Chains A and B, each alone.
Chain A
Amino acid sequence: MKHDSSAIKITALTHTYGTREVLKDVNLSIDRGEVFALIGPTGAGKTTLLRIIDLLETPASGQLYLDGRPAPQSARQRLDMRRRMSFVHQKPQFFNLSVYDNVACGLRWRGANEDVISNRIRHILDTVGLNGYDRRDARTLSGGEAQRVALARSLVLEPDVLLLDEPTANLDPISTTRMEQLIAHVARQRKITMVMSTHDMAQGQELADRIGVLVEGKLVQTGSAADIFRSPRNEDVARLVGTENIIEGTVVANEEGIATVCIGGEAEAATIEAVSNHSAGKRVSVCIRPEDVTLASTVSHGSSARNTFSGTVTRMASFGPLSRVEVECGFPLVALITRLSAQELALQIGARVHATFKATAMHIVERSTDDRST
């Protein structure tokens, strides 16, 4: 029999709620010990996919394979399979019991003896930094503490697969950092297969080996964080990974892999040169990450960058050490520069600047005919 290294495999999976299709023809394979992040906006179907993997729901069509075998049908077999997994929900729910008894529940349901339970709980509460919380009423915990107890409650079961649904969605920044550190620690130490959903690209990048982008029920792209970050498959993915500059245009020429893209209306047509294989006549979207746009007060002729546009600063905002600058150059362009650079350039609303970006810094995606973007 052929050995399948997939802990989870999903083929042609579709799921509906009433008449609404929430998952559409999803195909996915997650290896044993892999940390996989499902990224997508709210309502993309991330939670539903996790629930299907945890056998809490049965898909309308398609197949789910767990550990190389099709998901079982009988209640008993589903329970046995589910007991090899554990699911941390977005909003952790606690039984009307102490922290200790909440964490002990899963082990008791599996028939573990009290000595084993006691040892494991002591160890796991130590791991999540909640020593001394065992007698606390679980329903009186703060958001960060509650999420850590929920993680402890899942980890104490030593599952083969850990499912995490937006584990930091309701937490403050400090609790978020702590939770992320914990997840990273668990991923390193325990080598368990982890599938986590998040709408935070940075979190996915930091924690996951591989990322899948789910948009409106479709798994649009899977790959390493770098792949998705640098080469988003379409505009939806580009937006999701923080590409703020998405400029529509048409390829008018392509010479030796350098495409010339005409953007803007005919009256104010401008061209952008980008490394791309798209041939002339293709309707495309040019994706430029804001941190790849540089601003200068004068045009630098020695630069290797092919695209320089003059424009006027229309808006400025500070984000910690960075400044987000919006420039109108016949088309809107967003640049992310250091606050120090902004000060040196004496940037202010109405100032004239030259925005530059390299032909290699862009990613060009073909626009589909049913493109909803404007």
Chain B
Amino acid sequence: MTEIWQGLTRAIHLLISFDVEVVEIALRTLSISGTSSLLAALISLPIGTLIHFRRFRGKRALINIIQTLYFLPTVIVGLFVFMLLSRAGPLGELGILFTPPAMIIGQTLLITPIMLGMIIAALSGVREELLETATSLGASGPQLSLLVLREARYAVLAALMLGFGRALSELGVAMMVGGNIDGYTRMMTGGIWLATQRGDLELALALGMILLFLALVVSIVLNRLQQRRTQ
């Protein structure tokens, strides 16, 4: 118990004093996960809109597959990207394994299905009558898509936040394709894992507290968005 208490007070001290290592890892995490989320959003928004509006054979099956990928273990994505980027892999020539771009690719692959599925669900929540009103008021196909995205904006933002949260908290991809290299690819989850292994509980707790704080921010934003949706 004493050890935990000491760990907590030391962790708070690390946070208050803006410890270089802690700040560096936190900023790197935000940068890599933020970039992954941005890329996943850029992929998911147009594709999600397209899937929602187009009628095609196998649409339901495709949505089922996307939803199944919500539960994709991070280590499976890590393994897949590792094989892709390893020297013998099809993209081995790029030489980006164990670099931040490799982690961004992995995280993007991990969170895109979540964002995509949630965006499709969000767009489905817009009432058919509203679409018909817009159509009869003269909206073209693209104008209709933008309108639906705007109508579902809170639910769509919630989908993006959920993807960001998943990227922030994952460990498998960061470790397997990032390599947890100090000062280069170490993220908060990897940092916590290593610090715990080394017995540096203060650092592990400090990073954990930042991670929880970021999760809290994501959760608050999500709650606000949900409230605005129901207003």
Q: Provide the bound-state CA to CA distance between A143 and B138, in Å.
A: 24
A93 with B138, Cβ < 8 A, contacts A56-B132, A109-B143 known: no
Point out the residues of chain A lying under 8 angstroms from B127, CB to CB: 93
Q: Mark B128-152, 1 if CB is under 8 A from A, else 0.
A: 0110111111111101000100110
Contacting pair A91 B151 (CB below 8 A): no
Interface residues on B, range: 10 to 19
Q: Provide the bound-state CA to CA distance between A106 and B134, in Å.
A: 8
Query: Nearest Cβ in chain B — how far from A58, in angstroms?
Result: 13
Residue of A91, A109, A157 with most partner-chain B CB within 10 A: A109
Contacting pair A95 B134 (CB below 8 A): yes
Interface residues on A, range: 20 to 34
Q: Provide the bound-state CA to CA distance between A153 and B132, in Å.
A: 14
- Judge if A96 is at the interface, Cβ distance under 8 Å: yes
A109 with B140, Cβ < 8 A, contacts A93-B127, A96-B151 known: yes
Q: Provide the bound-state CA to CA distance between A95 and B140, in Å.
A: 16
Q: Provide the bound-state CA to CA distance between A79 and B147, in Å.
A: 16
Residue of B135, B138, B139 with most partner-chain A CB within 10 A: B138
Residue of B nearest to A88 (CB): B136
Contacting pair A83 B135 (CB below 8 A): no
Contacting pair B136 A86 (CB below 8 A): yes
Residue of A nearest to B144 (CB): A109
Q: Provide the bound-state CA to CA distance between A325 and B150, in Å.
A: 58
Query: Nearest Cβ in chain A — how far from B128, in angstroms?
Result: 10
B: residues with CB less than 8 A from A are 127, 129-130, 132-141, 143, 147, 150-151
Q: Provide the bound-state CA to CA distance between A79 and B138, in Å.
A: 7
Point out the residues of chain A lying under 8 angstroms from B137, CB to CB: 86-87, 105-106, 109, 153-154, 157
Given contacts A96-B150, A106-B137, 10 further A-B contacts (CB under 8 A): A56-B135, A82-B135, A83-B138, A93-B127, A93-B130, A95-B130, A105-B139, A109-B137, A154-B137, A157-B138
Query: Nearest Cβ in chain B — how far from A44, in angstroms?
Result: 20
Point out the residues of chain B lying under 8 angstroms from A110, CB to CB: 138
- Judge if A230 is at the interface, Cβ distance under 8 Å: no
Residue of A nearest to B140 (CB): A79
Residue of B nearest to A150 (CB): B133
- Judge if A89 is at the interface, Cβ distance under 8 Å: yes
Residue of B nearest to A106 (CB): B137
Residue of A nearest to B131 (CB): A93
Query: Nearest Cβ in chain B — how far from A51, in angstroms?
Result: 8
Cross-chain contact of B138 among A75, A95, A96, A106 (Cβ < 8 A): A106
Point out the residues of chain A lying under 8 angstroms from B136, CB to CB: 54, 56, 82, 85-87, 89
Q: Provide the bound-state CA to CA distance between A109 and B139, in Å.
A: 6
Q: Provide the bound-state CA to CA distance between A106 and B138, in Å.
A: 6
Residue of B134, B139, B143, B147 with most partner-chain A CB within 10 A: B139
Cβ-closest 4 pairs across A and B: A87-B136, A106-B137, A83-B138, A93-B133
Q: Provide the bound-state CA to CA distance between A75 and B127, in Å.
A: 22
Point out the residues of chain B lying under 8 angstroms from A109, CB to CB: 137-140, 143
Contacting pair B129 A105 (CB below 8 A): no
Contacting pair B135 A105 (CB below 8 A): no
Query: Nearest Cβ in chain A — how far from B125, in angstroms?
Result: 12
A95 with B147, Cβ < 8 A, contacts A56-B132, A82-B136, A89-B133 known: yes
Q: Mark A67-88, 1 if CB is under 8 A from B, else 0.
A: 0000000010001001101110
Q: Provide the bound-state CA to CA distance between A54 and B137, in Å.
A: 10
Query: Nearest Cβ in chain B — how far from A349, in angstroms?
Result: 48
Cross-chain contact of A82 among B129, B138, B151 (Cβ < 8 A): B138
Point out the residues of chain B lying under 8 angstroms from A56, CB to CB: 132, 135-136
Q: Provide the bound-state CA to CA distance between A105 and B143, in Å.
A: 10
Residue of A nearest to B154 (CB): A96
Contacting pair A91 B138 (CB below 8 A): no
